[in-house]
Amino acid sequence: MIRVALIPGDGVGPEVVREAERVMDACVSAGLADIRTELFPHGADHYLATGETLSDESFARLRDDFDAILLGAVGDSRVPDGRHARDILLGLRFRLDLYINFRPARLRLAELSPLRSADDRPIDFVIFRENTEGLDTGAGRIESAGGPDERAVSEAIATRAGVQRIVRSAFAYASSEGRGRVTLGDKANAVPHVYGLWRRVFTEVAADYPDLDADMQYVDALAMQLVRAPDRFEVIVTSNLLGDILSDLAAELVGGMGLAPSANVNPGRHALYEPVHGSAPDIVGTGAANPMAAILSTALLFRDGGADAAADRVEAAVDAALAAGIRTPDIAGSHTTEQVGAWIADHIGTG
């Protein structure tokens, strides 16, 4: 039994989580998995109505009573400073110490890529984004606010232990999954303290994996190479903010934000699954949101939860929908969010 907390959140979050739930239910009906779900209301509506972003009580339950969290998206223009989104999403990542943000980029169908070269060069790599440190912790200050001498300082934090655990995870994954190369994305030439540490730790960990090709690239050149020759990459490990940027780029190479799943994990302890995309306010309520990223996130959830048969069936059903042209407009289709979700759920039942 996998106990799953659902946090649909804002914008298209509830629209895509509804379809992910439909697909999970189909897996249960087909006898492929045993799950129990519970809905959590946290998001902009809840914050505006109650003043509560993520209550201590909800946090304790999410920490203690569930094996996994499935989140849609958080972000709403009625909360311009995004405080609820930071408390909920970054709050869960930091407080549950979900130090691995695992973001696979696999081209499921050549025609989905904007790259001409995709026909004969498969794209299949994963990003290990550090998820608890970096520039994203909110550490910093504003000095002389509003005055001519105003200074804003955001502190990038990297600890040896924090860098070690994500770099080790990336190498261990490459080794166990038969991947030949691990690439570090960094910026040690311009940001020497933090990325100097990343390079030293990466080199130390690489020495424990002599069979793997260990490659260090400045992130600007890496971004260029990702577009030029994405088939050269297998596992990319990088810091929080750089991983955020690279993962949207990676998503676009394989069909866009509507297809990119992710897992935030502290192995053996806690996990939160979510599409890489946000609340997509420009398409909310139109039926145009692609639910596949959320649905593929449930495949990651099932796999980590030991329900491999369910994970395989979900991925196969998404591939079948793509091949059959059951697609939303972002990937040249004319189906709605619900039609795509229902088709995939049906396919699981009959597959």
210 Cβ contact partners less than 8 Å away, ≥ 6 residues apart: none
Among 33, 69, 79, 85, interactor with ligand IPM by CB under 6 A: 85
Using CB under 6 A as the binding rule, whether residue 70 contacts ligand IPM is answered as: no
- CA–CA separation, 297 vs 97, rounded Å? 19
Name the minimum Å distance from CB 200 to ligand NAD.
31
Task: Name the one residue in this structure whose structure tokens are 């796999």.
Answer: 303
Helices of type H across the chain: 13-29, 44-50, 56-64, 83-85, 91-95, 160-176, 192-207, 219-228, 240-253, 292-304, 308-324, 337-350
Q: How many chain residues are in contact with ligand IPM, going by CB under 6 A?
A: 7
Among 5, 6, 12, 201, interactor with ligand NAD by CB under 6 A: 12
Among 244, 252, 304, 330, interactor with ligand IPM by CB under 6 A: 244
- CA–CA separation, 103 vs 31, rounded Å? 28
**182 vs 276 by CB, closer to ligand IPM:** 276
Q: Which two tokens stand for residue 242?
A: 């750089």
Q: How many chain residues are in contact with ligand NAD, going by CB under 6 A?
A: 22
Report what 206 binds from Mn ion, ligand IPM, ligand NAD, none; CB cut-off 5-8 Å by kind. none
Residue showing the smallest CB distance to ligand IPM in the complex: 244
Using CB under 6 A as the binding rule, whether residue 257 contacts ligand NAD is answered as: yes
Taking a C-beta distance cutoff of 8 angstroms, is the pair 289, 15 a contact? yes
Residues 63-92 that bind ligand NAD (CB under 6 A): 73-75, 82, 85, 89
The site map against ligand IPM for 278-307 (x = CB under 6 A) is x-----------------------------
Backbone φ and ψ for 238, nearest 5 degrees, come out as: -160, 175
Name the minimum Å distance from CB 271 to ligand IPM.
15
Using CB under 6 A as the binding rule, whether residue 282 contacts ligand NAD is answered as: yes
Considering only the stretches 83-91, 206-214, 250-258, 308-316, report the one whose residues sit in contact with ligand IPM under the rule CB under 6 A: 83-91
Give the DSSP letter string of 43-112: SHHHHHHHS-SS-HHHHHHHHHS-SEEEEEE---TTSTT-HHHIIIIIHHHHHTT--EEEEEEE-SSGGG
Task: Name the one residue in this structure whose structure tokens are 């505006």.
Answer: 48
Name the minimum Å distance from CB 262 to ligand IPM.
7
Using CB under 6 A as the binding rule, whether residue 130 contacts ligand IPM is answered as: no
Taking a C-beta distance cutoff of 8 angstroms, is the pair 2, 68 a contact? yes
- CA–CA separation, 324 vs 347, rounded Å? 11
Name the minimum Å distance from CB 74 to ligand NAD.
4
Among 19, 136, 234, 244, interactor with Mn ion by CB under 5 A: 244
Q: Which two tokens stand for residue 163?
A: 């860098």
Name the minimum Å distance from CB 7 to ligand NAD.
10
**256 vs 333 by CB, closer to ligand IPM:** 256
Give 250's Cβ-side CA count (13 Å radius): 29
Using CB under 6 A as the binding rule, whether residue 242 contacts ligand IPM is answered as: no
Considering only the stretches 29-37, 85-93, 145-153, 209-217, report the one whose residues sit in contact with ligand IPM under the rule CB under 6 A: 85-93
Using CB under 6 A as the binding rule, whether residue 17 contacts ligand IPM is answered as: no
Write out the residues near ligand IPM by the rule CB under 6 A.
Answer: 75, 85, 89-90, 244, 276, 278
